[in-house]
Amino acid sequence: MSGSEKLNVLQGDDQVSVNARFDLTGKVAMVTGAASGIGQAMAVGLAEAGCNMVLVVHSQSPDETVKRIEAAGRECLVLKCDLGGPIEALQQLSLAAEDKFGRLDILVNNAGIIRRNDAMTYTEKDWDDVMNVNSKSVFFLSQAAAQSMAKRGSGKIVSIASMLTFQGGIRVPSYAASKGAVGQVTKALANEWAGLGINVNAIAPGYIATDNTAPIRQDAGREQAIRERIPAGRWGTPDDLVGAVLFLCSDAANYVHGHILCVDGGWLAR
């Protein structure tokens, strides 16, 4: 065998090994807020990597997400839930996933809401609504999932943080507080659960073109100011987050605990 042939064989073996680390075939993943935007992109990406999917939605139709998951050859369970409601409803989600698939390997806490108003006139309802969906549900969904994962000694929990996990933002005090909480809860749970084989991490998206950022993008002056600060020179898309979630949900991230992975086009480096 020539030297080049030996090299090709070695590269082939290495490639199989690398692919195996990212293979999610047979896993069951739950994604909240999966009807559109970042949640939809992540759910479809996980399905294409081999996961059967549990989609948690509130009022928006997940039909397009379901169609794309089934096109990837995966099964899909849709659960409707108000994540700002009683924690008993949140706890039922992981039980429903286990009833359907017999297990829950991955939880992606993606769902989130935002309310914009001046801090001087911000209402208690807006504060509580945002905190309940964006941070309280993250903790209690993670708690329920971890109780199942701990029995098998493995699991991946990924929550969606934000640039406002690190910065204060403008006219979104409860959103900034809730995303700061996501970062700290991620670290706190990692400290307790890493020894149980459960990886708890977060992804902090930069400025992504979604429904949540539509009001900013419609403000020509602010949109331009944001875009010009991003070293990559553009707003992100939901698909830009897929690689990050696949990594954190795979065996390739088995020694990654309590990390907040920024996918921001370089925003925080500026």
Cα–Cα dist 40/237, whole Å: 12
What letter would DSSP give residue 2?
-
Strand partners, 262: 204
Choice among 122, 175, 207, 255 that is catalytic: 175
DSSP 83-141: TTS-HHHHHHHHHHHHHHHS---EEEE---------GGG--HHHHHHHHIIIIIHHHHH
Cα–Cα dist 234/30, whole Å: 30
SS3 55: strand
Cα–Cα dist 169/191, whole Å: 28
Burial 195-215 (b: 16+ CB within 10 A, else e): eeebbbbbbbbbbbbbebbee
Strand partners, 263: 205
Q: Which two tokens stand for residue 263?
A: 């996918």
**Active-site annotation holds for 175:** yes
Report the half-sphere exposure of 140 (CA within 13 A, side-chain side): 18
Catalytic residues: 175
